[in-house]
Structure 1
Amino acid sequence: MYEYHGWITVRDTAVDDEDVDRLRQIVEAIRLRIAQIASPYLLDLRWMNGEPFIHLGGFSNHSLSPDVLGLFEYVAVIAPGSYGLLHVHDDEDPGHENEVRVHRLVRGMLTQHAEELLSPCIPTLEDPITG
């Protein structure tokens, strides 16, 4: 099982006063990248209150191609002021089968952490199998 939920606030730089034309170019580049991702799951890029946001989520039988994490890596490169989180539970990930992992995007850097509020999955989220 591969479950993921994430979001990104898209920003060109960490400065609040951005070049709107440059940000629109970045968003269009991201929109093209999203169009290349063949996913039946949630993947949404939209402007809200003058700011671009990406929301994504899905649940499949096996780990997806690197497209989901690759999108975060792509945004980190072209919009290093962006920030967001991607929560992943992959029960086929050796050594992390019973964890929810968090990929954190901040200032062009993508790092991975254990999500302590949702891990270990058993018994935090699910009861152990008995019998």
Structure 2
Amino acid sequence: MFEYHGWITVRETAAADDEDPRLPDIVDELRLHIAQMDSPYLLDLRWMNGEPFIHLGGSSNHSSSPDVVELYEHVALIAPGSYGLLHMHNDEEPSHENEVRVLRLVRGMVTRHTEVLLSPYIPTVEDPFTG
């Protein structure tokens, strides 16, 4: 099982100014990228209060689809001022099957971490199997 929940604030740069003339073009490119992912789950890009945000979530039998990690890597490449988190539980990931992992996007870099508030998955989130 692969469960994931995440968000991204899309920004061209990490500068704290409100003027970002390329941002609409970046958002248009991201809309095309997201449309090609063809996800049956939550995958939404919208403007709120003058800023673009991506929200995503889902659960699939295997981690191969949709490739949400690739989306974070793509955003890091084309909009390095973006930031966000992706929480994932993948019971097929070697050495991490009992952890909730966090993908962190900040300043054009994507890194992986263990989410200590939800790990170990068993017994923190689910009871041990007793059958």
TM-score by length of 2: 0.96
Question: Is 1:92 the equivalent of 2:92?
Answer: yes
Output the CA distance in 2 between the equivalents of 1:65 and 1:42.
13
Q: State the SS of the aligned residue for 1:20.
A: coil
Equivalence for 1:127: 127
Equivalence for 1:104: 104
Instruction: Point out where structure 2 has 5 or more consecutive residues left out of the alignment.
Output: none
Amino acid at match of 1:36: Q
Equivalence for 1:55: 55
Taking only aligned residues, the RMSD between alpha carbons, in angstroms, comes to 1.1
Asked whether the 8 Å contact 2:8–2:82 carries over to 1, the reply is yes
Amino acid at match of 2:72: F
Moved more, 92-101 or 57-66: 57-66
Question: Is 1:38 the equivalent of 2:41?
Answer: no
Deviation (angstroms), 1:62:
1.1
Output the CA distance in 2 between the equivalents of 1:124 and 1:88.
15
Runs of 4+ in 1 over 3 A off after TM superposition: none
Deviation (angstroms), 1:18:
4.5
Output the CA distance in 2 between the equivalents of 1:52 and 1:16.
15
Asked whether the 8 Å contact 1:12–1:18 carries over to 2, the reply is no
TM-score by length of 1: 0.96
Deviation (angstroms), 1:130:
1.5
Deviation (angstroms), 1:66:
6.3
Tell me how many residue pairs correspond in the alignment: 131
Q: Percent identity, aligned pairs only? A: 73
Output the CA distance in 2 between the equivalents of 1:79 and 1:66.
21
Deviation (angstroms), 1:29:
0.6
Amino acid at match of 1:32: L
Output the CA distance in 2 between the equivalents of 1:111 and 1:72.
10
Amino acid at match of 2:32: L
Output the CA distance in 1 between the equivalents of 2:21 and 2:36.
23
Amino acid at match of 1:21: P
Alignment of 1:3-82 (within 5 A): 3-65=3-65, 67-82=67-82
Amino acid at match of 2:41: Y
Q: State the SS of the aligned residue for 1:24.
A: helix
Deviation (angstroms), 1:16:
1.8
Asked whether the 8 Å contact 2:43–2:56 carries over to 1, the reply is yes
Any idea what the Cα deviations from partners look like across 1:65-122, whole Å, max 9, x if unmatched? Answer: 4621111000000000000001110001111110000000000000000000000011
